[in-house]
Amino acid sequence: MVPAKDPVSGNMLTKESLREEFSKKPDMYYNTSLFESEGFTRKQCSACGKFFWTADESREYCGDSDHEGYSFIRDKPEHVGLERFWSSFSKFFEKEGHSIIDRYPVVSRWRPDLYFTIASIQDFQRIEKGNMGFEYSANPLLVPQMCLRFNDIPNVGVTGRHFTSFIMAGQTAFDYPNNGYWRDRTIELNYNALTKIVGAKKESITYIEDVWAMGDFSEFGPSLEAFSGGLELVNNVFTQFEYSNGVRKELKGKVVDVGWGLERLVWFNSGTQTAYDAVFSEALKYIHQESGIKPDTKLYAKLASQLGRTDLSETKSQYDIELRAAESAGISIADYNNVIRPMQASYAIADHARTLLFAITDGALPSNVGGGYNLRIILRRIFDFQSKYKIKMDMGELLKIISESMAHMYPELGSGISEMLDIIEIERKRYEQTLNSAIRTIDTIIAKHEDITPEKMRVLYESNGITPELISSVAESKGAKLRIPDNSYSSIIKGDFAKKEKKGKAGIDTSGIKETVKLFYDFKTESDSKVLLSESNIVVLDKTPFYAESGGQEADHGTIDGIKVIDVQSINNVILHMLEKPSKFKVGSIVHCSVNEDRRNQLIAHHTATHLMSAAARQVLGKHAWQEGAHKGISKAHIDVAHYERLSDGQINAIEKTANSYLQNGIKVIMHEMPRKDAESKFGFSIYQGHGIPVSMPRIVEIYDMKGNLIDAEACGGIHAMGRESIIGTIKVIGSQRIHDGIDRLEYVAGHALYLYTNTLDERIRKASAILGTDPEKLVDTVQQVSDKFKDYKKEFEASNAQTASSLAKELSELKEQKVIRKMDYGISMLRDIATNIVESAPDKVALLYNSTGNVVCISGKDSGTDALKFLNENINATHFKEFKGGGSKRIAQGMLKK
């Protein structure tokens, strides 16, 4: 939570208050030796009031695009390209003592609170016990980090500068003053890179004073944003302070976090009309050639220069604003609709395709849950744009062009294309299946002149897959004006932060109690331990052989001094033992602990089997098949696997076969603690199956085959079959289900549980055979014969019912009464058939039929002039019931009657 007052300034702790405080002491927080040597002076912007530094004595404005148009765009731009520019840029920093490191995944597995990587500094942030720390492989360093953000979706393709994925070239120096460097060196490097590599003129550069802060203000500091030609090129953040427990103090190890927007640097350096033309030149050429789009970049630039100062994600009507901007730029409505809008679509498609390629390559999937929700939104935008503007292209060729344009920077991208094409094919089928229904829904909205509120926009997308683009497209095709809500995408996109469910535990205060020594990692099942706390049926010991429930593995059971242990939980590494009944243990006394070894062995077998199933799923399905959840119990275990379609029987069998092949060929399990940085470096981020492990020294479980080849490595706090691999036996999949969009659950048994399962199955087969009077070997054939006979009986029964319904309806339809209300002891299906036959034979009648259990149906004939639902509600008393629970329409209503 943000504290009420900052004890240093006395103000509310906000970015505005910090900016005001820091600006009062510019020499302490913003001035640098380079500003003095190069003649930069401090001024206040006459438009926005912000303070800035400039070498241009005549300058009045700070250089922000809100007050200054783009002046770097050239009539004859130079094609530079990302890779060519990155080569020069990275070499500059390498010569200045920076290590150039590879990017981290865009799926932020090491941060359980975030779906995607949204900034380069996130690569090195690690959370432990609620505190932020840093882990890094070099200091100082530069990383070309691809970042994903979805808050700018309406701007993408329109303003000329917004992306859903962008490369943040992260220039980072840690641990100042012990290591790294601070403000003087940062701005010296910054200025030299801007003038020598980026191509900015000294007099055009401005540095605007600002503040950076974590969302909770746990860390913050001053920042200097560098602009040139109306474009922000880089933000220099100096993380100087921390705030914790009401105390604000300077960090012992300060951090320089410089974020260079690489796409903007290339755009500035090349001088193209838009950033998209600089970054996606070959991809756009392909899209335009295949779809027949005739781009007019100069015409587009007129509009982009107007919209570059507008954030369309924060405006009321994007279409109206664009039209006004087009009019101001002298662009006709015809040119806007026929030239500009198809260009905007092509720009958005190129951006969205790149975002999806990075995300899917790194293991994410479009879905309706988590971060995959936003991926599906932009994929459906591609489909909408293709449909609306008749953009025909080979998606595989487009992805190939995009990956090849960055092959030296990101050689791994090419490996994700095949999988992405499979996903696109499945997602397109889903899209097309819902399209007709979606269009009918939009037609209804248009016909009823309904307002689309932000909440309705969210429901339309989540229930029908309807995007704002599809609504606009359908409305325009019908010549209708339909107002899309303010911030339409803000109402449907998911935020960057992942929501984690918190599991409640016993309400025991463990503060002041030492962490429990964990004997179970040494496979101990007996101990004599000292009692540290005893309340009712809960006991805390100084050391314990009992494994506490964690990571999906159920807790050990057993006894403490003969009293049964029925559950074990951990709070802040203090282990709580729940007993079957209250004990009389005294604090300081010694008690004997004994673990149920049969239960322990079964849990071990299922846990190691789960790791093997996880490895097998990735081998069979692809590296996107992350473990999204798991449970290891006594009778069975399950694993939740990410996949873009429901698993087929063939895939399930292949996963089971692969997992068992590991066991048949022999495995070796190793468990040991390892520094997190070393584990990530050695095994990659696949160690974080399920979620990130917020500890600096995670326990790594490695499984090898007998030739020493790695099968699986995961950060895991469970107990495994190290040295006792044979207890796993064989793994048998016993069930599967689609539990969420994009996630399948596989249930399986191993070890002794498999023996019990097969015995139970055999007993059931014998009983079923006895009931059917056949041998177990002939059970399948016998069941098939019984099924065939049942189908014949069912047909005869339905035919008989249809005849009965017709006969009863004939009698009732010939009655003089127009309103037929009858109690008839038939099932709801039969009642519905009778009522339907009545009103078809006599369209002027309304039929209300019910039975003694309360099933009721009411159908009105087409000429009856009666509202069925209203009639049912008005005639409840005639049924001798008191209340109706159900629903319906003017034509038909049905449900249950209550007494």
- Per-residue pLDDT, averaged over 288-294, amounts to 92
pTM, 2 dp: 0.80
pLDDT exceeds cutoff 70 at 495: no
Most confident of 32-36, 690-694, 777-781: 32-36
C-beta separation of 130 from 144 below 8 A: no
**Higher pLDDT residue, 406 or 485?**
406
Could you tell me the pLDDT band of residue 297, with boundaries at 50, 70 and 90? confident
- Quote the pLDDT of residue 410: 97
pLDDT at 476 > cutoff 80: no
Answer yes or no: is pLDDT of 2 > 70. no
Tokens of 151: 């808050």
* Residue 1 binned pLDDT confidence (cut-offs 50, 70, 90): very low
Q: Which strands, in side-by-side order, build the sheet including 247-261?
A: 41-44, 51-54, 206-213, 219-228, 231-244, 247-261, 165-176, 141-148, 99-100
Torsion angle of C-alpha atoms 488, 490, 494, 500, degrees rounded to 10: -140
The answer to whether 839 touches 831, Cβ cutoff 8 Å, is: no
How are beta strands 517-518 and 543-544 bridged, if at all? parallel
Closest CA to 34 of 231, 210, 186: 186
Average pLDDT over residues 94-112: 93
For the beta carbon of residue 394, count every other beta carbon within 10 angstroms: 11
Report percent pLDDT > 70 for the chain.
90
- Structure confidence at residue 434 (pLDDT): 76
Three-class secondary structure of residue 560 per DSSP: strand
pLDDT above 90: percentage of residues in the chain: 67
What pLDDT, on a 0 to 100 scale, did the predictor assign at position 313? 52
Please answer whether residues 547 and 555 qualify as being in contact, where contact means their C-beta atoms are separated by less than 8 angstroms.
yes
C-alpha count within 13 angstroms, C-beta hemisphere, residue 25: 7
pLDDT for 3 equals 46
How far is the C-alpha of 65 from the C-alpha of 264, rounded, in Å?
13
Pairing mode, if any, of strands 41-44 and 131-134?
unpaired
> For the segment 816-857, what is each residue's pLDDT rounded down to a tens digit?
899 999 999 999 999 999 999 999 999 999 999 999 999 999
Task: With cut-offs at 50, 70 and 90, classify the pLDDT of residue 462.
Answer: low
Helix, strand or coil for residue 143? strand
Mean per-residue pLDDT for 775-804?
Answer: 89
Per-residue confidence band for 646, with pLDDT thresholds at 50, 70 and 90: very high
Give the whole-angstrom CA distance, residue 24 versus residue 13: 16
Query: What angle (nearest 5°) sits at the alpha carbon of residue 151, between those of residues 148 and 155?
Result: 100
* pLDDT at residue 10 greater than cutoff 70: no
Window from 107-121, 296-310, 643-657, 733-747 with minimum mean pLDDT: 296-310
- C-beta separation of 686 from 711 below 8 A: no
pLDDT at 114: 85
Summarised one tens digit per residue, pLDDT across range 324-344 is 878 888 888 889 889 999 999
Highest mean pLDDT among 276-280, 336-340, 384-388: 276-280
- Exposed, middle or buried: residue 156 (CB in 10 Å: 0-12, 13-18, 19+)? buried
Confidence band for 504, pLDDT divided at 50, 70 and 90: very low
Among the residue ranges 176-180, 240-244, 258-262, 475-479, the one predicted with the least confidence is: 475-479
Look at residue 305 in the predicted model and tell me its pLDDT: 63
User: What pLDDT sits at residue 439?
Assistant: 76
Q: What CA–CA distance (Å, rounded) separates 458 from 460? A: 5
pLDDT recorded at residue 59: 96
Residue with tokens 């960057």: 496
pLDDT score for 230: 92
Read off the pLDDT of each residue in 712-732 and give the average, rounded to a whole number. 93
Q: Is the pLDDT of residue 312 over 60?
A: no
Selection from 148-157, 187-196, 314-323, 687-696 with the highest mean pLDDT: 187-196
Q: What is the average pLDDT score of the chain?
A: 89
Q: Per-residue pLDDT averaged across 55-62, rounded?
A: 95
| Mean pLDDT of all residues in 365-383 | 89
DSSP letter string, 144-194: EEEEE--TTGGGTTTSSS--SEEEEEEEEEEEETTSS--HHHHHHHHHHHI
Question: 3-class DSSP state for residue 623?
Answer: coil
What pLDDT score does 300 carry? 82
Torsion of CA 476, 481, 484, 486, to 10 degrees: 130
pLDDT tens by residue, 200-243? 999 999 999 999 988 778 889 999 999 999 999 999 999 999 88
Q: What is the pLDDT of residues 521-552, one digit of tens each?
A: 999 999 999 999 999 899 999 999 999 999 89
Find the range with the poorest average confidence among 37-51, 379-393, 455-469: 455-469
